[in-house]
Amino acid sequence: MNDSGGDSLILVLNCGSSSIKFALFDADQTPLARTPAWSGKIEGITGDAPAFSASDGAAETLTLDCEHPYHAALTYLRQRIVAQLHGRRIVAIAHRVVHGGSKYFEPVRVDAAVLADLKSYIPLAPLHQPFALEAIGALLAELPQLPQVACFDTAFHQSMPTVEKMLPLPRWAWDQGLRRYGFHGLSYAYQSQVLGERYGDGARGRTIVAHLGSGASLCAMRNLQSVATTMGFSALDGLMMGTRCGALDPGAVIYLMEIGKLSLERVARMLYHESGLLGVSGVSSDPRELLPREGEAPVREALALYVRGIVREVGALAATLDGLDMLAFTAGIGEHQAVIRERVCAGLGFLGVAIDPVANAAHAPVISSAASRVKVVVEAANEEWVAATAAAALVHV
């Protein structure tokens, strides 16, 4: 880590079910630099080969306690972060928390009462919520005076109109909190800022951002505010993903349970962990591994289904916007998979989308051609900076 910065640091933790991403930002810079002083991740926490990697080139294969691998990973990460401080101090920790329910619409400093509230939302986001809260709880117990800030993926979508939040269920379901909340909000919050900075009014019209990673969703924006999104009530909604099914006829679930006699737990595992690109291809959830194997029919069909779903949902969101001015790709697949971008854009020709193959292959910031009626751009994700900035503002560092 560069030792030339200030004495105060903000730590950002993004805890998933099998990985922990982290970043340290220099809190003495105003505004915060968008590139962290040090960052990295622990991957494969629940697998056979967990590994640590960092932006300074550090890498290590880990051996974690098989009974409590997540706790062991947090302990290891804490040791590595302390070793990087070099006399500096962490003044706040920002956490990406997927769900704020219908109560938390802004970042909030976490105490025992807030933590209890957030635990009540675990059923709304069982794949992610428990792991962020485990980290918060452990740190709250050990370092109660250190400010911790929860930043919510659902918060960005509070600007959606009520008609986009409602589900076509009996009214009592709405009263009990069953609604379309929207996710990937920290990613979209960054896009709403950076696209405005780069493209001005060109981004403030009818814009769709495609967050395509292991999880995936689309967000329709007007004036860079969310007006509709594909991932609504749960991480199973909207687009087909790496291991998740995306939008699915609920009758298929009823069939699996009634006729197939699958338990609730078995169906949940299938929909969350065994479907999507992995399930259809039978090979992998990663397009990097699938694209070279398109000669195999299941792989080819999986990729075609993935692209078709994105095209369909972009078309639906364009209808809610009355057209489309800008399409932005972000996150791992969106930023790095030129072939996927090319195929998606080819399917959107009816909207006037046309790309420059050379610019697309080079992952240029603008990949649309001069003839395109829609500006198509590629923009890196930066959820960690959004969370760090929110923490800095909230705790006045």
Pure H helices in the chain = 69-84, 112-119, 129-142, 162-165, 171-175, 185-199, 250-258, 264-273, 276-281, 287-290, 297-321, 331-336, 338-347, 357-361, 383-395
312 is in an annotated binding site: no
96 is in an annotated binding site: yes
41 is in an annotated binding site: no
What separation in angstroms does the CA of 230 have from each of 65, 177, 236, 386? Answer: 38, 18, 10, 22
43 is in an annotated binding site: no
211 is in an annotated binding site: yes
Q: Which two tokens stand for residue 187?
A: 């990613």
335 is in an annotated binding site: yes
14 is in an annotated binding site: yes
CB atoms within 10 A of CB 344: 25
Question: Which residues, 6 or more positions from 25, have their beta carbon under 8 angstroms from its beta carbon?
Answer: 9, 10, 12, 32, 33, 36, 37, 384, 385, 388
What separation in angstroms does the CA of 356 have from each of 152, 163, 378? Answer: 36, 37, 13
2 is in an annotated binding site: no
21 is in an annotated binding site: yes
396 is in an annotated binding site: no
For residues 203 and 209, the answer to whether their CB atoms sit within 8 Å is no
| 153 flagged as catalytic | yes
Of 28, 56, 65, 153, catalytic: 153
212 is in an annotated binding site: yes
81 is in an annotated binding site: no
CB atoms within 10 A of CB 326: 20
287 is in an annotated binding site: yes
The contacts found for 114-117 with CB under 8 angstroms, 24 or more apart, are 114/150, 115/140
Please give the Cα distance from 38 to 50 (Å, whole number). 20
126 is in an annotated binding site: no
Residue 311 gets the label, from left (phi > 0), alpha (psi -120 to 50) or beta, of: alpha
What separation in angstroms does the CA of 196 have from each of 188, 223, 256, 389? Answer: 12, 9, 46, 17
- The residues that bridge with 97 in the sheet, in sequence order, are 152
Please report the DSSP string for 102-170 in residue order. Answer: TT--S-EE--HHHHHHHHTTGGGSTTTHHHHHHHHHHHHHH-TTS-EEEEETTGGGGGS-HHHH--SS-
45 is in an annotated binding site: no
Sheet harboring 375-378: ordered strands across? 225-229, 216-222, 206-212, 326-330, 375-378
Extract the annotated binding site for substrate: 96
Extract the annotated binding site for Mg(2+): 14, 383
Active site residues per annotation: 153
